[in-house]
Structure 1
Amino acid sequence: MIRKNAIINRLWDRKSMICLFLVLMTFAIFYRLSGYDFVNFDDDLYVTANSRVQKGLNMENIVWAFSTTDIANWHPLTWLSHMLDVQLWGMNSGRHHLVNVFFHITNALLLFLTLNRMTGAPWCSGFVAVLFALHPINVESVAWVAERKNVLSTFFWMMTMWSYCQYAEKPVRVKYLAVILFFMLGLMTKPMLVTLPFVLLLLDYWPLKRFRFAAASVSGQSHFKADIKSHCIGNSHQSDVSSSDSSAFQNRSFLSLIREKIPLFVLSAFSCGVTYLSQDASGAVRSLEVIPLTSRIANALVSYVGYVGKMIYPLKLAVFYPYPAIIPGWRIAGAGSILITMCYLSWKIRVKHPYVLIGWFWYLGTLIPVIGLVQVGSQAMADRHAYIPLIGLFIAGVWSVSEFLKVYLSRYKLIPIVATLLIGILFMITWKQIGYWKNSATLFQHTIDVTTDNYLARNNLGNAMVHLGKNDEAYQHYAEALRIKPHDANAHYNMGILLTTKGKLDEAIGHYKAAIRSNPYLKKAYYNLGTILQQKGSNAEAIINFLYALRLDSRFAEAHNNLGVLLAQQGKINEAAAHFLMAVSLKTNYIAAIKNLQKARSDMRRID
């Protein structure tokens, strides 16, 4: 009994030490985000230019968060999270960043605690968590305020896994309800969690060994138990201290494990349907005419291997990777061969090394929603998409290396030296990568430096130059973006704004019309075009553009006001007053609309 308590105390000390290291190391490297700005890439849509979010939490906004599909997604908890930030911190960008850091640290801790509970291997579990916390490819998810949905949804992913582990130990209804609850909350934050039920099935095979055949066939139960004398792999003593002994989990048939997860599969299917409809309605889904199926498959194969490459060699990371016009055949064939070979090898060694199979298929499966077969957006791949998938490769890699060292390397003193060296390298690369997120100018200049023909980076760097008052440099970047991609709606729209400030209205009109042709959902292009046409006296055409803007966004206060002005000029005072009233109700401090409403009401009384 004394020996058992001593082992438990020593393991508790080990867990505490790993948790403390994770918190201190992660906070130390990401803390400087507290001095960084918002960036002009989606942060405006989620926070800085979002009138709903800027009003903070109130009942009207809460109802809106659960009913809107703005930005091509239904993710009410993401909206509520940003609203709460504004409620607490206002527009202090540093505090918004630190909330992301908090969730990233929490995710790393939960990953460690959950893996350790499932495997009883604290050092392997801890090193997987360290790789997750410090890998440079995860900087994007933490340093980008708009990616709150990524770190927050991963928090619910980890809580679902933790709850599932508890349920697997003792399958009772209340524990399963906790699994469903956290899974639902995750889906309401980001639909990336639709693959989680399949991951739980993988975990049933290893390390939980809930498959009836898995418990008998997966060899070396002790291989996945921590030993106080080793770094990751142990002996029979660990059965005294680990709650994840195979006896703790009920062995069940594959079909029963599928039936058990039917509620989760139903929720995933519902989330997939809502997400697709939301993204399709907003124009975010690219049609097969724009990107053919063959191109999508080719890019998916190359991207699968590309993420692995960025995990191993995390340099030249960028916030946006343009979709390639042509992918060489040798790259497609090579990528396909690598994927098939890895699938075959992981299956071949599944009995002795089940963690390789589980880690590899975790990676493949969790990337499916964002690999581009249903193409949303114009990126070929994105660092943020690897936030959860690479955990699978970390697991496979760490457990494989640990097994190799146990068998072929008896000098365990080398292990902490190698681990420390790797952590130090990751720390330095991640530190440098974080620095690129200081502001929009540094971010997109770096993106241009490490990618080729990046029209989006040119466009956004142009926006940053406008913000800095460097209009001539902005013009050059917009022009370069349009050279690379002549039909880019955003570059045309921004060029239109810049030319308007220079008084070149006819050229601006041409760019606004080009922007609308490329993206008929760009409400501000209609509004700006209508405003210029109104200035030039083309009132009939201006009215049409204001109506289009309001069709896309009925809460567009400025469009209501300008349309009201034109209707009043046509003598339609009642209709004009209705639009002025709507503008004032949407924007209570809108002085121009208030004056226009007062004048319209005065005219109405005079007519009466």
Structure 2
Amino acid sequence: MRSEACICLILITAVLLVYWQVGDHEFVNYDDNVYITDNAQVQKGLTDKGIIWAFTTSHTGNWHPLTWISHMVDCELYGLNPKGHHLTNVLLHMANAILLFVVLRWMTGAVWRSGLVAALFALHPLHVESVAWAAERKDVLSTFFWLLTMVAYVHYVHRPGGKRYLLILVTFSLGLMAKPMLVTLPFVLLLLDYWPLNRFQPRTTTDSVVDQPLGFKSSGDGKSPILKAVMEKAVLFVMSLLSCFVTLVAQQKAGAVSTLEVVPFTLRISNALVSFVAYMGKMFWPLELAVFYPHPGSELQIWKPAAAGLFLLIISAVALWITHRYRYVLVGWLWYLGTLVPVIGLVQVGEQAMADRYTYVPLIGLFIVVVWGFADLVKGWRSRRWVVSVTAAVMLLALMAGSWLQVGYWKDSNRLFEHALDVTNNNYVAHYALGNALASQGDLVGSVSHYNKALKINPRFAEAHNNLGNALALQGNLTGAITHYTKALKINPDHAEAHRNLAVGLDRQGEHQAALHHYEEALRISPNDAQSHNNLGVALAEQGRLKEAVAHFTEALRIDPNFKEAERNLELS
């Protein structure tokens, strides 16, 4: 127990050393606004209406009520002080590292190997994105319940029973309500049945304690232990399928899923193969990490997916070939491949080619392979303890340094996206986000420059056209602003904000009837937009249609009771 306590203390200390700096970080303008700073429901804190909203909304293209509730709790406790929100993520990440150590130690009996896997998980730079980004609460929160489900599962396998199985269902359900990434967990539990739980074959007297610490045996009822293991998880697989369905509906409703016309299936397969290998490369050499990696599209050279596919086949074949001696290799490899499938891009959600945050759980599989493999490699060496200790210390210190630097890039939006532009090419999203940051700081010249750079790379970027229009309008270039609002709507006719902004511009030019049409379109697309209701009310009042104007001012105040401008307009009507 002294060793276990020592490892937990090391994990806690190391995580705090790397991540404590987030207490001085700001929110960034990339999803933090959608989840927290511009989200009126979340900012109200924990309320009855807020909880109902969390369970019924598909805002952001996801159904993850527990994630919404966790953000509400943070707003209840800390308001909009980013320090509290960031430190909650750090605490969850710390808890995840300890849980990973505990469950691996319980399953394998290997204290220091389990501790090293947990340390790699806790300190790897690829995991910084999931922790330092407030909006990625869903990563650390869902993984917390992923690991609790593993703990509950080992508890159940040790002594099966209805209550213990129910605990598995509860923790798994909570995880799915934090992020649907958990849909692959039943598959991972099957892998654990093979190793280290060894439930697919009877225990023999030669089995080591590390290979089979809990003494599980296949039953003597004539049924295949593999079939029994699958059937045992039938409810979990059904829950995963339901979660996939709900997630797909939510993402399609939000327009987040790219069609096959936009991203053909052959391109999706090609990018997926390259991404599998690229993530492995970044695991071993975690440099030039960015918050957004542009999708290569048709520019992806054919040799890259071909080489990546061959590489993956070779590793898979080797893992199968040596599985009779080193079962952890196949388990870790399939853990890595399997848990990446939902986010590898076969269903293309968003415009990224890959994302560091997607590796938060999958890399655990590769960490197991590396740690257990290295332990077996040096097993017969006389100086193995010295070699392992020095290697582990050097590696972890290097990872800590890399993660500490990577955390620093998340201090604010400017630093985050300037770094992304430094380490990637043709990154139109980084130009766009940096333009937003500069605009919010009053640097309209800089923001216009970055919006134009984003549009030079991707002329069909509706959001960039809309925000460039906003910047031009603030510069007094109303004609240029209207041009870009119009371009945004040609690309995306359902862009509610572009309709509203175009209406404002047209109204200023005296085209009142056209302005009314675009306000109405904005409200058709986004009926709960208080600003559009208020603006439409003003436009109607200017035409003498006071009764209709009052109705829209009233609706704006119903949506946002603290909307002072709408309140003032209502009083004047």
Q: TM-score, with normalisation over the residues of structure 2?
A: 0.96
Matching residue within 481, 492, 513 for 2:486 = 513
Q: Which residue in 2 is equivalent to 1:9?
A: none
Per-residue displacement from partner, 1:304-356 (whole Å, max 9, x unpaired)? Answer: 00000000000000000000031112211110001111111111111110000
1:438 to 2:411 alignment: yes
One-letter identity of the residue aligned with 1:281: K
**Percent of pairs identical after alignment?**
48
For residue 448 of structure 2, what is the aligned residue in structure 1?
A: 475
> Aligned partners of 1:406 and 1:517: how far apart in 2?
65
Q: 2: distance between equivalents of 1:223 and 1:399?
A: 15
- 1:418 pairs with 379, 388, 391, which one? 391
- Distance in 2 between residues matched to 1:296 and 1:220, nearest whole Å: 47
The 1-side partners of 2:439 and 2:568 are apart by 31
How far, CA to CA, are the matches of 2:409 and 2:119 in structure 1?
Answer: 22
Equivalent residue number for residue 271 of structure 1? 243
Matches within 5 A, 1:319-468: 319-325=291-297, 326-408=299-381, 410-468=383-441
Which residue pairs with 1:281 in the alignment? Answer: 253
- CA–CA separation in structure 2 for the residues paired with 1:539 and 1:483: 33
**2:159 corresponds to which of 170, 178, 181:** 170
Q: Distance in 2 between matches of 1:520 and 1:308?
A: 40
Q: Deviation of residue 469 (structure 1)?
A: 2.4
Matched residue of 1:413: which SS?
helix
* Aligned residues of 2:199 and 2:216 also touching (Cα < 8 A): no
Task: Kindly state the Cα deviation for residue 510 of structure 1 after the two structures are TM-superposed.
Answer: 1.3
Measured in 2, the distance between the counterparts of 1:485 and 1:413 equals 54
* Contact kept in structure 2, 1:323 and 1:380, CA below 8 Å: yes
Identify which of 85, 103, 107 aligns with 1:96. 85
Structure 2: distance between partners of 1:221 and 1:528? 70
3-state SS in 1 of match to 2:117:
helix
- 1:352/1:553 CA distance change after superposition, 3 Å: same
Of 214, 229, 237, the match for 1:245: 214
Following the alignment from structure 1 to structure 2, what is the Cα–Cα distance between the partners of residues 132 and 383?
A: 13
Take 1:387 and 1:524, find their aligned partners in 2: how far apart are those partners? Answer: 34
The answer for the alignment partner of 1:191 in structure 2 is 180
CA offsets per residue over residues 353-412 of structure 1, 9 Å max, x none? 000000000000000000000000000000000000000000111111111111345542
Query: 304-313 or 551-560, which moves further after superposition?
Result: 551-560
In structure 2, the partner of 1:316 is 288
Could you tell me how far 1:532 is from its partner in structure 2? 1.3
Give the SS at the match of 1:594.
helix
- Are 1:550 and 2:550 an aligned pair? no
Q: Return the offset for 1:135.
A: 0.3
**1:221 paired to 2:194:** no
Structure 1 pair 248/20, CA: closer, same or farther in 2 (3 Å)? farther
- Counterpart residue type for residue 509 of structure 2: K
Give the distance between the partners of 1:63 and 1:249, measured in 2 at CA.
45
Give the match for residue 474 of structure 2.
501
- 1:521 and 1:267, CA in 2 relative to 1: closer, same or farther beyond 3 A? farther
- Is the CA contact (8 Å cut-off) linking 1:108 and 1:130 kept in structure 2? yes
Runs of 4+ in 1 over 6 A off after TM superposition: 248-252
Q: 1:418 to 1:576 in 2, by over 3 A?
A: same
CA distance in 2, matches of 1:524, 1:307: 36
Shift of 1:280: 0.6
Matched, 1:488 2:461: yes
Is the contact between residue 218 and residue 225 of structure 2 (CA under 8 Å) also seen in structure 1? no
1:509 counterpart SS class? helix
Residue in 1 aligned with 2:14?
25
Per-residue CA deviations over 1:208-250 (Å, capped at 9, x if unaligned) read 111137x57xx9732736xxxxxxxxxxxxx9xxxx3324886
Mapped contact 2:109–2:209 kept (Cα < 8 A)? no
Give distance in 1, aligned partners of 2:538 and 2:488: 25
Letter paired with 1:211: F
1:256 is matched by which residue type in structure 2? K
**Does structure 2 conserve the Cα–Cα contact (< 8 Å) formed by 1:220 and 1:352?**
no
Residue of structure 2 in register with 1:233 after alignment: none
CA deviation after TM superposition for structure 1 residue 578, in Å: 2.0
Is the contact between residue 283 and residue 521 of structure 1 (CA under 8 Å) also seen in structure 2? no
For the pair 1:80 / 2:69, whether they are aligned, the reply is yes
Structure 2 match to 1:583: 556
Partner residue in 2 for 1:301:
273
Computed over aligned residues only, the root mean square deviation of the Cα atoms, in angstroms, reads 1.7
Aligned-pair CA distance for 1:553: 2.2
* Residue in 2 that maps onto 1:3: none
Give the CA deviation at 1:577.
2.3
What corresponds to 1:144 in structure 2?
133
Does structure 2 retain, via aligned residues, the 8 Å contact 1:170–1:249?
no
Residues 269, 296 of structure 1: alpha-carbon distance in 2 compared, 3 angstrom cutoff: same
Q: How does 1:56-71 map to 2 (within 5 A)?
A: 56-71=45-60
- One-letter amino acid of the structure 2 residue matched with residue 452 of structure 1: N
Matched position secondary structure for 1:380: strand
SS in structure 1 at match of 2:353? strand
What amino acid is the match of 1:358?
V
Contact kept, 8 Å, 1:157 with 1:193, in 2: the verdict is: yes
Pairwise CA distance, 1:597: 2.6
Tell me which amino acid in the other structure corresponds to 2:208.
Answer: S
State the distance in 2 between where 1:459 and 1:250 align. 60
2:142 corresponding residue in structure 1? 153
Residue by residue, what CA displacement relative to the aligned partner does 1:389-443 show, whole Å, maximum 9, x if unpaired? Answer: 0000001111111111113455422211111111111111111111111111111
Partners of 1:116 and 1:511 lie apart in 2 by 58
> What is the aligned partner in structure 1 of residue 507 from structure 2?
534
Distance in structure 1 (CA, Å) of the matches to 2:262 and 2:123:
37
TM-score (norm: length of structure 1): 0.91
Corresponding residue SS for 1:407 = coil
Alignment of 1:41 onto 2:37: no
1:208–1:249 Cα contact (<8 Å) kept: no
Cα distance in 2, alignment partners of residues 391 and 515 from structure 1: 42
Determine if contact 1:212/1:254 at 8 Å carries over to the other structure. Answer: no
User: 5 Å matches for 1:45-56?
Assistant: 45-56=34-45
Q: How far apart, in 1, do the equivalents of 2:9 and 2:69 lie?
A: 30
Task: Identify which range, 590-599 or 461-470, moves more after superposition.
Answer: 590-599
Deviations 1:4-48 (A, max 9, x none): xxxxxxxx1110010110011111110011001111100000011
Q: Quote the Cα distance in structure 1 between the aligned partners of 2:5 and 2:217.
A: 24
Looking at structure 2, the residues matched to 250 and 448 of structure 1 have their Cα atoms a distance apart, in angstroms, of 58
Give the corresponding residue for 2:227: 255
Residue 521 of structure 1, CA deviation: 4.0
Q: Distance in 1 between matches of 2:139 and 2:468?
A: 32
Distance 1:297 1:471, change over 3 A: same
Of the structure 1 ranges 20-29 and 514-523, higher mean CA displacement relative to structure 2 is found in 514-523
* In 2: Cα distance, 1:474 partner to 1:190 partner: 34
Distance in 2, Cα, partners of 1:152 & 1:342: 32
Contact 1:567 1:575 in 2 (8 A): yes
CA distance in 2, matches of 1:530, 1:518: 17
Alignment match of 1:182 (pick from 138, 158, 171): 171
Structure 2: where are the runs of 5+ without partners? none
SS at match of 2:373: helix
1:464 Cα deviation from its structure 2 partner: 1.7
Conserved in 2, the CA contact under 8 Å of 1:526 and 1:549? yes
